Structure 1
Amino acid sequence: MAENSPQDPAVTATTPPEGHLEVDDNLDSNDSLYHSTYENGRRYHAFREGTYPVPNDEDEQDRMDLVHHVYSILLDGKLHLAPIDDNLQRVLDLGTGTGIWAIDFADEHPSAAVIGNDLSPIQPEWNPPNCTFEVDDYEDEWLYRTEFDFIHARELEACIGDEDLMLQRAFRHIRSNGYIELQGVDARFESDDGTLDKAPNAKLWMKHLIEACAKFGKPVDCAYKWKDRLIKAGFVDVQEEVRKLPIGPWPKDPKLKELGRYQAIQESKVIDSYTPKLFEYALGWSADEIQVLMAKVKNELRDPAVHLYLPVYFVWGRKP
């Protein structure tokens, strides 16, 4: 090793390097994207704190992965219904959550560069080489320089303040003949045999959830509007498919019975995740009132005499 010359002094503990970085003494500990806040025993994202009313802790991550499994059964193992090109180059997954959809899609399409964005950095560190994740707010202006072949968004109900604006941005960032697909549950319990009348608390909970999300500024009852909104944004060949998602193992069909078992667990977790913060802040409910209603709803959903399902919307369109 060459000796240090007077013109090239050694860097020592007492000789700071040229361009020494100064410390910002006014730095807020919440400036980090990786900080979190805690309420009601649950962890929430700190980046753009308060813009998303649902936790991001391990329990919620387990729920997100369970949702992916439910959709996999519902779609017979498919990740989408849009007739996309096999030679995709760029794909964007909005509100990627744990990143499980983006990872599976990247595995299926190794030639595609898949980006998943979310407010929470809860995605795994080890991913397919063609899959990356970003901490970002898709309700802000999009800064992507290259257009996408496919944009996917699942379960973003109660996550978007202005869907028309978000879809306009998506339209601008999709190449010609590229597709967008929205997947999500419409906020209404239904039954084909009238047993919804045996679940008055479930109906009451959904009514208040819709009200709370509206007051929070992130509507939850929006899936049935997606087809018209895609057309309004400029997409063509817009298609809509609605499938029934049973809650509980009451269906005779083996596939639907399995689906219902998983969704019963998932729906209970939805109640745990969505209710406390929304009902407290948006509706002014007390903790006791919230817990009592949650318990009543869960009991009704477990009742084998109650045969409820949720309509799940799959809506896709092409940019001309």
Structure 2
Amino acid sequence: MSLTLALEWPSLSCISRRNVSSSLSNNRQPNDEEEQDRMDLAHHVYRLLLGGALHLAPIKNDVQRVLDLGTGTGIWAIDFADEHPSAQVIGTDLSPIQPRWVPPTCSFEIDDFECDWLYTRPFDFIHARELEGCIGNDLKFFKQAFKHLVPGGYFEVQAVTSPFLSDDDTLDKAPNAQEWMDNLVKGLRKFGKPADNVPGWKDKLKDAGFVDVHQEIRKLPIGPWPKDPKLKEIGKYQGVQELQVIDSYTPAIFSRILGWSHEEIQILIAKVKRELRDPSIHLYLPVYFIYGRKPV
């Protein structure tokens, strides 16, 4: 996670109620319990999107060294260690909020992935989820991942990007949600951590040296409106999470970066929540799963 904006989220990472405030004052503080619960809910949503899997990259079952960047509560790293007993899994984050009781092959370190990486041994697999809005120089970030992989190793990023979309024109019924997202992205870009550049990451991985770069884009519905049972379940959880996201990320970005008043922020939040709870509005966000391989 970035030094200046320390947090994660399933739509626009690295900014929360507590963390943006502390980040903007250059003070690292751990995420509060509510935000940690939201991170774990996001993990559940991603596993549902992947049919229970933790990644798409075709890594070997006996993978040895794995790095999870911006690990948050550490839940991805813990699950991966449980499923791959042969792997030594390291999760890094700026906030020491990970549990103490973890698999013996899983460990956590406080680190800033935007600084130079100092690992002396390369990794077989590097995973990064929800880092949109956290990276100031994405090409540098991807090049560091490339450098610290073994030949034949894989790097995978999973990220949500803006804007809200709909396939039935109901987006027109959610002008406040659109305004909220537009300003959130504007604030992040003004702060130097763009969250709307994910569509360009596939080419950036190639520029960094990766080959066999693969990208999949999946729909993340907001609310239980889909007819498909699997998407309905995903939307049910994401609907809850999106409301938490609004409370977590809006105040600091809109007030400290964009200069909104407290009253203006609260009015917009109320309008956005009302739209997102409306079952006749069928919004979703695109989720990008991108991975590449370091040549042998």
- TM-score, normalised to structure 2, is 0.91
Measure how far apart 1:43 and its partner are: 3.4
Q: Which residue of 2 aligns with 1:110?
A: 85
Aligned structure 1 segments of 4 or more residues deviating by more than 6 angstroms? 45-49, 51-55
User: For the residues of structure 1 that align with 2:91 and 2:166, how far apart are their CA atoms?
Assistant: 35
User: For the residues of structure 1 that align with 2:76 and 2:32, how far apart are their CA atoms?
Assistant: 18
The residue type paired with residue 161 of structure 1 is G
Equivalent of residue 211 in structure 1, options 170, 177, 186: 186
Q: Which residue of 1 aligns with 2:205?
A: 230
1:94-133 correspondence to structure 2 within 5 Å: 94-133=69-108
1:278-293 correspondence to structure 2 within 5 Å: 278-293=253-268
What root-mean-square deviation, in Å, do the aligned CA atoms of Structure 1 and Structure 2 show?
1.9
Cα distance, 1:226–1:42 mapped onto 2, change above 3 Å = closer
Q: Hey, which of these two has a bigger chunk of helix by percent?
A: 2
Tell me the secondary structure at the aligned position of residue 19 of structure 2: strand
Measure how far apart 1:86 and its partner are: 1.4
1:267 aligned onto 2:215? no
User: For the residues of structure 2 that align with 1:315 and 1:125, how far apart are their CA atoms?
Assistant: 31
Measure how far apart 1:153 and its partner are: 0.4
User: For the residues of structure 2 that align with 1:290 and 1:199, how far apart are their CA atoms?
Assistant: 17
Give the aligned length.
Answer: 280
Equivalent of residue 243 in structure 1, options 198, 218, 222: 218
Do the aligned partners of 2:72 and 2:97 also contact (CA within 8 Å) in 1? yes
Q: Which residue of 1 aligns with 2:110?
A: 135
Do the aligned partners of 1:52 and 1:159 also contact (CA within 8 Å) in 2? no
Q: Which residue of 2 aligns with 1:76?
A: 51
User: For the residues of structure 2 that align with 1:133 and 1:162, how far apart are their CA atoms?
Assistant: 24
User: For the residues of structure 2 that align with 1:237 and 1:272, how far apart are their CA atoms?
Assistant: 39
- TM-score, normalised to structure 1, is 0.84
Q: Which residue of 1 aligns with 2:68?
A: 93
Measure how far apart 1:55 and its partner are: 7.5
Q: Which runs of 5+ in 1 are unaligned?
A: 1-40
Once structures 1 and 2 are overlaid, which stretch shifts more, 168-177 or 47-56? 47-56
Q: Which residue of 1 aligns with 2:129?
A: 154
Q: Which residue of 2 aligns with 1:37?
A: none
Tell me the secondary structure at the aligned position of residue 73 of structure 1: helix
The residue type paired with residue 127 of structure 2 is H
Tell me the secondary structure at the aligned position of residue 128 of structure 2: strand
Q: Which structure is larger by alpha-carbon Rg, 1 or 2?
A: 1
Tell me the secondary structure at the aligned position of residue 18 of structure 2: strand
Q: Which residue of 2 aligns with 1:183?
A: 158
User: For the residues of structure 1 that align with 2:219 and 2:95, how far apart are their CA atoms?
Assistant: 30
Identity %: 65
Which whole-Å deviations, capped at 9, do the CAs of 1:74-97 have from their partners, x for residues lacking one? Answer: 111000000011121110000000
Equivalent of residue 297 in structure 1, options 265, 272, 284: 272
Measure how far apart 1:142 and its partner are: 0.4
Cα distance, 1:47–1:96 mapped onto 2, change above 3 Å = farther
User: For the residues of structure 1 that align with 2:35 and 2:259, how far apart are their CA atoms?
Assistant: 23
User: For the residues of structure 2 that align with 1:53 and 1:196, how far apart are their CA atoms?
Assistant: 37
User: For the residues of structure 1 that align with 2:127 and 2:287, how far apart are their CA atoms?
Assistant: 15
Q: Which runs of 5+ in 2 are unaligned?
A: 1-15
